[in-house]
Every structure is written in C-alpha cells, then in structure tokens.
Amino acid sequence: MKILILNGPNLNLLGTREPEIYGSQTFEDYFQILQAQFPQHTLEYYQSNIEGELINKLHEVGFSYEGIVFNPGGYTHTSVALRDAIASITTPVIEVHISNPHARESFRHQSFVSPVCKGSIMGFGLDSYRLGISSF
Ligand code: CA2
C-alpha cells in the first residue's frame, strides 16, 4: 500500500524542544524505524508549517494512495479548510497526535478534522503513527 505520513506545523521541531511532551527523537529518525517496521508498505513523509501546502498535499495523493496518517498539529483545533480538504478526498485519513489533547488545555479538546477522519489515535507518543499505519 502507498501511505502518506503528513505532519503539520511545528512538528519539524520534534526532538529539539519540549521533550517532556513530544519526546526526544527527530521525526526523520523515527520515519526510518517506521519504514523498517512496514516493509510491505511504501511510506512517504511530508511536513509543512503552511496550511495551504498541507491542503495541496492532501489533494495530490488523496485520490490514489491507500492511506494517509495525518497529524495536523495546532491546525487540528482551528482549520475548517483542512477539514474540507480531508472530506473532499477519497483516501481514508487517520488523525494522529503524539500527546493526548484531551488531557491538555481546553482549546485542544475540539478537533475540526476528527468527524471527517476514519479514526483518531492520540496519546501514545510517536507510537501513535505506528498504530495509525497498522490500521490500514
Ligand atoms: O500531540 C500532538 O501531536 C499535537 O498535534 C501537537 C501540536 C498541538 O498543537 C496539538 O494540540 C497536539 C503541536 C505540535 C508542536 O510540535 C512541537 C514539537 C517539538 C517541539 C515543539 C513543538
């Protein structure tokens, strides 16, 4: 299967800041582990801090790939446009989060994307991504 791992804003800082919340591993290093764990899948990784670039990527792969594992970062709690993009594509999207937003500030309790995703996985650290891929 072709599966896109899509990361939103600030997740390029993984492994460099706030290790108590987000761990101490860079996503590039973790992505190599994911590839080794899923040799049967073709995994692609893309990260952007720019909402429109995330939408463009969803449109680009969202009619041909078999799955998308998406951590929209802070846009989770703000973006009607990302929700509309997910709703408009045919590839199923799994929402993932490293932390558990429900155990954090109340403004993180609402997700604009959850209702249009196949499922949501949160609170398992970087393992949330492995669990997301496993669902395909
Ligand atoms: O827990 C998650 O995966 C989040 O999507 C992370 C977002 C946050 O706004 C969501 O509520 C939950 C924040 C991403 C920030 O990533 C950083 C990584 C390392 C250092 C600083 C920020």
pLDDT digit string (tens) for 55-81? 999 999 999 999 999 999 999 999 999
d(CA 90, ligand 1 centre) in Å: 26
Residue nearest (by alpha carbon) to ligand 1 atom 21: 17
* Domain hosting residue 76, numbered range: 2-134
The CATH number of the domain holding residue 122 is 3.40.50.9100
Measured CA to CA, the distance from residue 68 to residue 1 in angstroms comes to 11
d(CA 83, ligand 1 centre) in Å: 18
Q: Is the CB of 31 under 6 A from ligand 1?
A: no
Measured CA to CA, the distance from residue 51 to residue 66 in angstroms comes to 22
pLDDT of residue 18: 87
46 is catalytic: no
pLDDT of residue 117: 98
Residue nearest (by alpha carbon) to ligand 1 atom 7: 73
CA atoms within 13 Å, Cβ hemisphere of 118: 15
pLDDT of residue 71: 98
Measured CA to CA, the distance from residue 56 to residue 105 in angstroms comes to 30
41 is catalytic: no
Is 54 in a helix, a strand, or coil?
helix
For the full predicted model, state whether its pTM sits above 0.85.
yes
Q: Which residues of the chain have pLDDT under 50?
A: none
Domain count, the chain: 1
Measured CA to CA, the distance from residue 73 to residue 99 in angstroms comes to 10
Q: Is the CB of 108 under 6 A from ligand 1?
A: yes
